[in-house]
Amino acid sequence: MSSIPAHTLNDGTTIPAIGLGTWPMDDVRAEEAVSGALGLGYRLVDTAANYHNETGVGRGIARSGVPREEVVVTTKLPGRHHGYAETLASFEESRQRLGLEYVDLYLIHWPLPRLDKYVDSWKAMIKLREDGLARSIGVSNFTPRHIARLEDETGVLPAVNQIELHPLFPQEERRAFHADKGILTESWSPLGRGRLPLHEPAVVAIAEELGVTPAQVVLRWHIQLGVVPIPKSAAPERQRENLDVFGFRLDPAQVAAISGQVRRRLGGDPETHEEF
């Protein structure tokens, strides 16, 4: 497999161009999956307090034998801990479960605008970054309106916004906003829930033409859009397949064909979804 390129974030840190998602693995499966994935060459691992597998992820990192400084570890603040003091306490709980001295990327999992506490949480995350406990800070499922408010009230933009993004929901406007602001886009459920996009005729035809799998086509599409996909897999053969997407390219017509599916959101709406 080709080496994994990296993106430089707006705070000067770097992040691999593809990562491993761990939802909805439990601790046992997460330990096995993370250890195995790091052995295959993954260097970005994504978890969250609400995945209830941070302990397993931390054990998998330790078990892998890969030097800590080579692994980018992401975790996320749950909605029940929004607020300044609550965020600091929640981060420490996550850090202890992971067994790490620092976290590479800490995200607000959902904005929960009804609670109206995400700015307070963001201020706490800025402190965590200043203290060196979180190398980079960002958000997940935030809209441009939410991000504009963070910038207006703190002067600090997220390094990353992790959002639902797949061929059925390519998020052109959101990606353009991020690019204008210097925010990296990450994709959760990059293959779609139930792997729905993999059965689209355009995806299947391109996979046959290139001699790769539909999943590899979709992940390559993400890479060429300049976003970071974090596909979840516990199976070593699937992990290997998902990582092996840097030895071929899609042409512009293929990228456009994959992007041209009927639009369909598969997850929650950030304006109304509540996650605690």
Q: What is the mean pLDDT of the chain?
A: 96
Q: For the chain, give the percent of residues with pLDDT over 90.
A: 94
Percent of residues in the chain assigned helix, strand, coil, to nearest 5: 45, 15, 35
- Does the pLDDT value for residue 83 go beyond 60? yes
Q: Is residue 106 part of a domain?
A: yes
End-to-end CA distance of the chain: 39
* Catalytic site includes residue 51: yes
Q: Is residue 63 part of a domain?
A: yes
pLDDT at 261: 83
Categorise residue 233: left if φ over 0, alpha if ψ from -120 to 50, beta otherwise. beta
Phi, psi at residue 228, to the nearest 5°? -105, 110
Q: Is residue 168 part of a domain?
A: yes
For residue 169, what is the domain's CATH number? 3.20.20.100
Q: Is residue 213 part of a domain?
A: no
Long-range contacts for 126-132 (Cβ within 8 Å, ≥24 apart)?
126/154, 126/156, 127/88, 128/87, 128/88, 128/91, 129/11, 132/102
Long-range contacts for 67-71 (Cβ within 8 Å, ≥24 apart)?
68/100, 70/43, 71/38, 71/43, 71/44, 71/45, 71/104
274, two tokens: 């509540």
For residue range 213-231, list pLDDT tens digits in order. Answer: 999 999 999 999 999 999 9
Reduce the DSSP state of residue 87 to 3 states and report it.
Answer: helix
The sign one gets for the Cα dihedral 23, 24, 27, 28 is: negative
pLDDT at 264: 87
Q: What kind and span of H or E run contains 58?
A: helix 54-64
Q: Active-site residue among 51, 84, 102, 106?
A: 51
Q: Is residue 211 part of a domain?
A: no
Q: Is residue 246 part of a domain?
A: no
Reduce the DSSP state of residue 123 to 3 states and report it.
Answer: helix
For residue range 16-29, list pLDDT tens digits in order. Answer: 999 999 999 999 99
* pLDDT confidence band for 111 (50 / 70 / 90): very high
- Does the pLDDT value for residue 1 go beyond 70? no
- Does the pLDDT value for residue 172 go beyond 90? yes
Segment 79-104 shows an average pLDDT of 98
Q: Is residue 14 part of a domain?
A: yes
Reduce the DSSP state of residue 76 to 3 states and report it.
Answer: strand
Range of the domain at 47: 6-193+226-231
Considering its fold, how many domains does the chain have in total?
1
pLDDT at 2: 53
The sign one gets for the Cα dihedral 254, 259, 261, 267 is: positive
For residue range 30-82, list pLDDT tens digits in order. Answer: 999 999 999 999 999 999 999 999 999 999 999 999 999 999 999 999 999 99
Segment 235-245 shows an average pLDDT of 97
In order of 79, 100, 239, the CA distances from 40 in angstroms are 33, 22, 8
pLDDT at 193: 81
Q: Is residue 244 part of a domain?
A: no
In order of 26, 121, 169, 208, the CA distances from 79 in angstroms are 20, 10, 24, 43
